[in-house]
């Protein structure tokens, strides 16, 4: 008998933690396009975007992406499954998929406009999927795809850094102890850069262990003044945003191609607040004016976003299997404890990732 329903954690409206609901009747995913695969989820993990999406942040933009032609009149995005990371086993492949077959162990980060991974099964495009690193369990592997691809997008695709041009470069990472930060520190060390990491004092041992050359506690005295005593930087990755943007660009070497990349952008907020067209316009004006303002001062200002990518995950898997990058896991929860995992993430001060074992034996 064909399966029609599966266990899943869903939300039926936006709000705080009480909107999370466990159901055994979530519709089983269907392959709609020849390049899709269905993955049996062994483990998933939570990211800050899951908290944002639970609260309804970015709903305008995501709904436009889900249904660009407004074909599904009267339908809403609910019930919505959260969770972006998956490590699991391929169960079924579309006719156009030649690279994977049922039974393959894979990992992926599913983009936010698709149904998420806090579910027994999830559907993904073949080009978003990659073979899981052989040296990791599913629980360990689930900690890496979303943060890994976010850092990869910021450092490599937007920032132009790669294995051959990083040697000796001075890199500053603001917010180094979360999921993206711990990955970025390891990637930059794998590529032979000099890394200065900013985090709280109780995370400094972890960040040093990951290879950071200098670790600075943002709570001990004036962070800006402390960083100004150090030599200037070639590249800054900002996971924190807010007031840091006002002074961080002054820490870059001028007129040398030095770049500041922030992962904190107003794009989705603008679209929620102003609607699609005005939101995009406002965002374009903001990034345009900031880029020009900083170019005149001799530095590059960029925004970066998560981008799903199987080929980038292939490269990340190689680094993992060669021992250069390891997952940093804060806590592991069972599938029945998803609301507890959300509360843990909401508490902040993460030391790496919050992982959920969807299948209890890993």
Query: pTM above the 0.85 mark?
Result: yes
Beta strands in 166-289 (DSSP E): 170-174, 194-199, 214-217, 235-238, 259-262
Q: Is 245:220 a contact under the CB 8 Å cutoff?
A: no
Residue 129 lies in a domain: yes
Which of these ranges, 24-28, 196-200, 259-263, 286-290, has the smallest mean pLDDT?
286-290
Q: Are residues 217 and 116 in the same domain?
A: no
pLDDT beyond 90 at 3: no
Q: Is residue 143 a contact partner of residue 174, using CB atoms and an 8 Å limit? A: no
pLDDT of amino acid 271: 82
92 within domain boundaries: yes
Lowest pLDDT segment from 11-20, 69-78, 207-216: 69-78
Same domain membership, residue 21 and residue 125: yes
| Structural domain contains residue 278 | yes
- DSSP 3-state assignment of 18? helix
Q: Give me the chain's average pLDDT, please.
A: 94
CATH classification at residue 180: 3.40.50.720
pLDDT at 362: 53
Please give the pLDDT value at position 1. Answer: 52
| Confidence at residue 2, expressed as pLDDT on a 0 to 100 scale | 66
Averaged over 149-174, what is the pLDDT? 97
The answer to whether residue 78 sits within a structural domain is yes
Q: Residue range 239-256: average pLDDT?
A: 94
* pLDDT surpasses 90 at 326: yes
Residue 201 contacts residue 223 (beta carbons within 8 Å):
no
Q: Mean pLDDT, to the nearest integer, of 70-80?
A: 86
Is residue 209 domain-shared with residue 332, that is, in the same domain?
A: no
Q: What is the pLDDT of residues 343-361, one digit of tens each?
A: 999 998 878 999 999 997 6
Q: Do 167 and 292 share a domain, yes or no?
A: yes
Mean pLDDT of the 55-79 span: 88
Mean pLDDT of 242-262: 95
Q: What is the mean pLDDT of residues 30-35?
A: 96
Are residues 94 and 210 located together in one domain of the fold?
no
Q: Tell me, yes or no, whether 224 lies in a domain.
A: yes
* Rounded mean pLDDT, 293-313: 94
Considering the domain architecture, whether residues 250 and 295 belong to the same structural domain is answered as: yes
pLDDT value for 317: 98
Residues 266 and 333 in one domain: no
Number of compact structural domains in the chain = 2
Say if residue 294 is in the same domain as residue 192.
yes
Cβ atoms of residues 6 and 26 within 8 Å: yes
CATH number reported for the structural domain that contains residue 42 in this entry: 3.90.180.10
Digit-coded pLDDT (tens) for 92-110: 999 999 999 999 999 999 9
Q: Is residue 168 part of a domain?
A: yes
Please check whether residue 38 is in contact with residue 347, taking contact to mean a CB–CB distance below 8 angstroms: no
Based on the domain organization, do 214 and 272 belong to the same domain? yes
What is the pLDDT, as a whole number, of residue 360? Answer: 79
Structure tokens at 113: 């406009």
Residue 36 and residue 128 in one domain? yes
Residues 137 and 187 in one domain: no
Contact yes or no for 33/328 (Cβ under 8 A)? no
Provide the percentage of residues in the chain whose pLDDT is more than 70.
Answer: 99
**64 inside domain:** yes
- Could you list the residue range(s) of the whole structural domain that residue 288 is in? 159-303
Residues 118 and 69 in one domain: yes
């Amino acid at each position: 008998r064909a399966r029609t329903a599966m266990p899943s954690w869903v939300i039926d409206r936006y709000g705080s933690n009480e909107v999370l609901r466990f159901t055994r009747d979530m519709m089983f995913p269907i392959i709609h396009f020849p390049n899709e695969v269905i993955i049996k989820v062994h483990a998933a993990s939570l990211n800050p975007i899951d908290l944002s999406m639970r609260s309804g942040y970015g709903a305008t933009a995501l709904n436009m992406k889900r249904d660009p032609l407004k074909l599904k009149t009267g339908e809403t995005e609910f019930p919505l499954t959260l969770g972006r990371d998956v490590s699991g086993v391929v169960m079924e492949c579309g006719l156009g998929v030649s690279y994977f077959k049922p039974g393959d162990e894979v990992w992926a980060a599913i983009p936010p406009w698709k149904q998420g991974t806090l579910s027994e099964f999830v559907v993904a495009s073949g080009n978003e999927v990659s073979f899981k690193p052989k040296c990791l369990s599913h629980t360990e592997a689930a900690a890496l795809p979303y943060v890994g691809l976010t850092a990869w997008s910021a450092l490599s695709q937007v920032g132009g850094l790669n294995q051959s041009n990083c040697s000796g470069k001075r890199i500053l990472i603001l917010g180094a102890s979360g999921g993206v930060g711990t990955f970025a520190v390891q990637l930059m060390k794998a590529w032979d850069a000099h890394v200065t990491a900013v985090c709280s004092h109780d995370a400094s041992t972890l960040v040093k262990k990951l290879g950071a050359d200098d670790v600075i506690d943002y709570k001990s005295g004036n962070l800006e003044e402390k960083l100004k005593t150090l030599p200037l930087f070639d590249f800054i990755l900002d996971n924190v945003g807010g007031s840091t943007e006002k002074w961080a660009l002054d820490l870059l070497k001028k007129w040398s191609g030095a770049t500041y990349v922030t992962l904190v952008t107003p794009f989705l907020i603008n679209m929620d607040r102003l609607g699609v067209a005005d939101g995009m316009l406002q965002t374009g004006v903001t990034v345009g004016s900031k880029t020009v303002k900083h170019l005149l001062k001799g530095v590059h200002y960029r925004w970066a976003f998560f981008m799903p990518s199987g080929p980038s995950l292939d490269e990340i898997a190689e680094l993992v299997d060669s021992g250069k990058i390891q997952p940093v896991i804060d806590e592991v929860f069972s599938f029945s404890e998803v609301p507890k995992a959300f509360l843990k993430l909401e508490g902040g001060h993460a030391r790496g990732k919050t992982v959920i074992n969807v299948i209890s034996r890993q």
